[in-house]
Structure 1
Amino acid sequence: MEALAQRLSQLDPHSEGAIRVVAFYDTLMRRRVDLPALARASAGLGECVAGIRLHGTGRSIRVAPDGRETTAPPAAASATAPITLDEEEIGTVWLERPGPSGPFDDVLLDRLALAAAAVVERYGPARTTMADPALVELAVSADCDEAARARALRLLGFAADLPVRVLAVRSRLPLDRVGALVCPAHPVKAALVAGVGVILAAAVAPEALPAGVRAGVAAAGPPDRSWREARTALRFTTARRPVVHHDDLGALALLADVPAEALRANPDVTAVARLARTPEEFETLEAYCATGSLRRAADALHLHHSTVARRLDHLGTSLGIPLGDPAGRTRARLALSAWHLLGEGRHPADSPDPG
């Protein structure tokens, strides 16, 4: 390395300094330093505040040139670089230089980003979110033997003695962003399998899902069973109920096992399909079935309860279902659920039917 630096410096005075920066970080990586040590070394080398942030954990490290983590309000970054691992951006490194950029800032940040990625990978599991779809499919496949499944989960970064939660997702947002939101502080992996988003996580916070994302959530258990349950729950999601937990479905989950031809042939489902051509009436029926109350449905629709009452009278006649009694409401709810299971109400951006 020193011989190469000497030869290059004879050609370009800038090259010797750049090669010294490269050699500096090569030495740090051989010593297997951690992220705080990387930040301290970078701040000392750059003679300004250096920072490292990992997207998956939200962790940030800012170190001053004296080697101490700084609590001063962050200044605008004078230069930044992404930390990339397995072709995914997992974080950012930056310098907070008060004056003009230094002559080697670009080289410093480039090597710092490479070193940070190596540290994350070494002391993993790596906090990357996107994963090899083949490994994810193996982990959730019903046809996989347990030894192969355990190996796939280990390669994905999940400990053998910890439960893995499974989500089935339809989303316009990239799956890595969705995964990072529902599991910001624990291992999480995402991939697209057979047109459906799969998120494997050590823990999940479904309430953190952003608007526009639909998700079926399974309880902790064997990944193959959880994946089956998550896909079933996903089929019951609607615009009003974008997140469904399989445990909350109860006996309603049995509808998912009914052949599609039988669902389509049912008169109540046929009547709901006709009603769906009139969005205003269909929205009224959905609100009424979801809330179980005329007044709560009126609140949800921002209408006067007398208006909703008139609509429901008309709907009952159109459907041939007595919506005013409990048995009629149950029939309507089942017909709506069956209609959604058939995928008739899916948003154009949604994935293909996972069932």
Structure 2
Amino acid sequence: MEALAVRLSGLDPYVDGAIRVIAFYDTLMRRRVDLLALARASAGLAECVAGLRLHGTGRVIRVSPDGRQTSTPPSPASTTVPVTLDEEEIGTVWLERPGAPNPLDEVLLDRLAIAAGAVVERYGPARTTMADPALVELAISSDSDEAARARALRLLGFAVGLPVRVVAVRSQLPLDRIGGLVCPAGPVKAAPLADVGVILAAAVDPSRFPAGVRAGIGAAESPDHSWRQARTALRFTGLREPVVRYDDLGALALLAEIPQDVSRANADVAGITRVAGNPEDLETLDAYCVTGSLRRAADLLHLHHSSVARRIEQIGKTLDIDLGQPTGLMRAGLALTAWRLLDR
């Protein structure tokens, strides 16, 4: 209010008009009008076309002073103000006034932007992406009771009964961008928690994650269970498989339950640690375990199959495992996965 008072004091000849504008929008907000009604009232008050756009949905509303939505080509905006919610810009409001702006236009648009943000929050944040980390943590924490979790999800924009998947993400890209890509049509919220990004979404398309992102996707169960699953799936990600769904891990998820000191003490895992000293050998073993074939591994590595065969023979000696046998290949694959799950 102090900032608003300072701004109004700068409009000395128009203070009375500014106060009337503020009271006008306060009345509209008490009446819980929708976005169209807000735009219609604003156009009538400003006596020119008023516009509103929501970035996420692409919805645009333009209303002329007579209260009708106009389809005429838009004129250049004389004054523009962003609409924000949860500290994220979710849209824009503007006036298309011929000639110079009215001194009260900025006050009018400020109040319109505030009212539009309140309407979006009240009737569903839908396309806002970044959220309060504390609220997201409340929704996914195993320490939260069901009532607190339900309230957090409702405040985040997820309707009661709507399935919610949790995604654990490591990436240099902005979380809101990733969230918008993987869930373009449904509610989605994101927030950073410690060293991991969290995305909550009604649905997730694994094929839409951009390059450079590692993500673990939990099942659509209770968000606290989904969060644990997402963190587990994230541990299984790698260069060849940067996005992992917990549902796809099956029995492999059991490896994440093994205490790390037990894994380190295992002879096969210790052998992988020795192999990892040579990145080329580690990559060769990974390709061989993935493909189960010297020739297919060679194609994957862009090497001659005889070169791969020599490497695999040497790696087998280091591991003390016969990699030419199905049992040996299975042991190496399990050891490699267990090694990747270690904190290094």
Query: TM-score band, normalised by the shorter chain?
Result: 0.7 to 0.9
Q: Distance in 2 between matches of 1:98 and 1:287?
A: 64
The alpha-carbon distance between structure 1 residues 90 and 303, as it changes in their structure 2 partners (threshold 3 A), is farther
Q: Tell me the residue number matched to 1:348.
A: none
Residue 101 (structure 1) shift:
5.8
Asked whether the 8 Å contact 1:163–1:220 carries over to 2, the reply is yes
CA RMSD of aligned residues (A): 3.3
Residue 233 (structure 1) shift:
1.0
The alpha-carbon distance between structure 1 residues 33 and 261, as it changes in their structure 2 partners (threshold 3 A), is same
Q: Distance in 1 between matches of 2:42 and 2:326?
A: 69
Query: Secondary structure of 1:273's match?
Result: helix
Residue 36 (structure 1) shift:
3.0
Q: Distance in 2 between matches of 1:23 and 1:163?
A: 41
Residue 253 (structure 1) shift:
0.9
The aligned amino acid for 2:202 is: A
Asked whether the 8 Å contact 1:165–1:226 carries over to 2, the reply is yes
- When structure 1 is superposed on structure 2, of 143-152 and 232-241 the one drifting more is 143-152
Q: Tell me the residue number matched to 1:83.
A: 83
Query: Secondary structure of 2:324's match?
Result: coil
Asked whether the 8 Å contact 1:61–1:69 carries over to 2, the reply is no
Q: Tell me the residue number matched to 2:238.
A: 238
Confirm whether residue 183 of structure 1 aligns to residue 186 of structure 2: no
Q: Tell me the residue number matched to 2:297.
A: 297
Q: Tell me the residue number matched to 1:283.
A: 283
Q: Tell me the residue number matched to 2:53.
A: 52
Q: Tell me the residue number matched to 2:338.
A: 338
The aligned amino acid for 1:224 is: D
Q: Distance in 1 between matches of 2:10 and 2:317?
A: 92
Q: Tell me the residue number matched to 1:206.
A: 206
Asked whether the 8 Å contact 1:131–1:189 carries over to 2, the reply is yes
Residue 255 (structure 1) shift:
0.6
Residue 178 (structure 1) shift:
2.9
Q: Distance in 2 between matches of 1:11 and 1:130?
A: 35
The alpha-carbon distance between structure 1 residues 39 and 326, as it changes in their structure 2 partners (threshold 3 A), is farther
User: What does 1:143-154 correspond to in 2, within 5 Å?
Assistant: 143-154=143-154
The aligned amino acid for 1:271 is: G
Q: Tell me the residue number matched to 2:165.
A: 165
Cα distance per residue 1:135-176 (max 9 Å; x no partner): 433433334443443344334333332322122222323433
Percent of aligned positions that are identical: 64
Q: Tell me the residue number matched to 1:65.
A: 64
Asked whether the 8 Å contact 2:79–2:101 carries over to 1, the reply is no
Asked whether the 8 Å contact 1:39–1:52 carries over to 2, the reply is no
Q: Distance in 1 between matches of 2:166 and 2:262?
A: 29
Q: Tell me the residue number matched to 1:4.
A: none
Asked whether the 8 Å contact 1:93–1:112 carries over to 2, the reply is no
The alpha-carbon distance between structure 1 residues 241 and 100, as it changes in their structure 2 partners (threshold 3 A), is farther
Cα distance per residue 1:188-214 (max 9 Å; x no partner): 333344543332222222322222222
Query: Secondary structure of 2:197's match?
Result: strand
The alpha-carbon distance between structure 1 residues 92 and 10, as it changes in their structure 2 partners (threshold 3 A), is closer
Q: Distance in 2 between matches of 1:75 and 1:298?
A: 62
Confirm whether residue 221 of structure 1 aligns to residue 218 of structure 2: no
Asked whether the 8 Å contact 1:217–1:246 carries over to 2, the reply is yes
Query: Secondary structure of 1:117's match?
Result: helix
Query: Secondary structure of 2:92's match?
Result: strand
Residue 127 (structure 1) shift:
4.4
Query: Secondary structure of 2:159's match?
Result: coil
The aligned amino acid for 1:221 is: E
The alpha-carbon distance between structure 1 residues 292 and 343, as it changes in their structure 2 partners (threshold 3 A), is farther
Residue 26 (structure 1) shift:
3.8
Asked whether the 8 Å contact 1:166–1:200 carries over to 2, the reply is yes
Residue 15 (structure 1) shift:
5.1
Q: Tell me the residue number matched to 1:308.
A: 308
The alpha-carbon distance between structure 1 residues 267 and 101, as it changes in their structure 2 partners (threshold 3 A), is farther
The aligned amino acid for 1:52 is: R
The aligned amino acid for 2:327 is: A
The alpha-carbon distance between structure 1 residues 20 and 233, as it changes in their structure 2 partners (threshold 3 A), is same
Confirm whether residue 328 of structure 1 aligns to residue 328 of structure 2: yes
Query: Secondary structure of 1:63's match?
Result: strand
More relative contact order in 1 or in 2 (CA 8 Å, sep 6+)? 1
- When structure 1 is superposed on structure 2, of 15-24 and 143-152 the one drifting more is 15-24
- When structure 1 is superposed on structure 2, of 119-128 and 332-341 the one drifting more is 119-128
The alpha-carbon distance between structure 1 residues 318 and 30, as it changes in their structure 2 partners (threshold 3 A), is same
The aligned amino acid for 1:213 is: V
List gaps (5 residues or longer) in structure 1.
1-7, 345-355
The aligned amino acid for 1:141 is: S
Q: Distance in 1 between matches of 2:136 and 2:39?
A: 34
Q: Tell me the residue number matched to 2:113.
A: 113
Confirm whether residue 317 of structure 1 aligns to residue 317 of structure 2: yes
